[in-house]
Structures are given as C-alpha cells and as structure tokens.
Amino acid sequence: MRELGADKFASEIESRKKELMELRFQAAMGNLEKPHRVTQLRREVAQLNTIRHEQAQAVHSGQGEQA
C-alpha cells in the first residue's frame, strides 16, 4: 500500500468506502454473506488513511527543514 501515489490513495479509499457502504446496506437487509469483510474493509480504510497522513507529515516536515 505504501507504494501507491497520492491520487491512488484517494481512489482506493473511495472504492473501499463504497464497498463498505454496500455491505452495510446488505447487513441491514439481512443478506450479508461475509460479515468479516466489513471489519476487513474498515481496517483497510484506516491503514490507507494512516499511510496518507504519514506521507503528508513527511512532506511538511521536509519543507520545514528547508525554510
């Protein structure tokens, strides 16, 4: 995941959030086949957000040293 570009992070997060929303809808309807996938998707979204935040912090800290 760390090798993804900044634009890829946004698309990956959005696709996983969309899938998560669909799974939640299925759960509400009572048709959820793989309940563990909800937890897995939530974890993946959190990991992607963490990596994106770490990369943003690295960019900001790198700019602060140059100024």
| Burial annotation 8-32 (CB, 10 A radius, 16+ → b, else e) | ebeebbeebeeebeebeebeeeeee
Dump pLDDT digits (tens) for 27-55: 999 999 999 999 999 999 999 999 989 88
- Average pLDDT of the chain? 87
Residue 54 lies inside a defined structural domain of this protein = yes
- Please tell me the pTM assigned to this model: 0.78
User: Can you give the pLDDT at residue 4?
Assistant: 72
- What CATH number does residue 21 fall under? 1.10.287.310
> For residue 24, what are the domain limits?
6-66
Q: What pLDDT, on a 0 to 100 scale, did the predictor assign at position 67?
A: 46
Residue-level pLDDT at 66 = 54
What's the CA gap between 63 and 67, in Å, rounded?
A: 6
Report pLDDT for 29. 94
- Asked if residue 33 belongs to a domain, the reply is yes
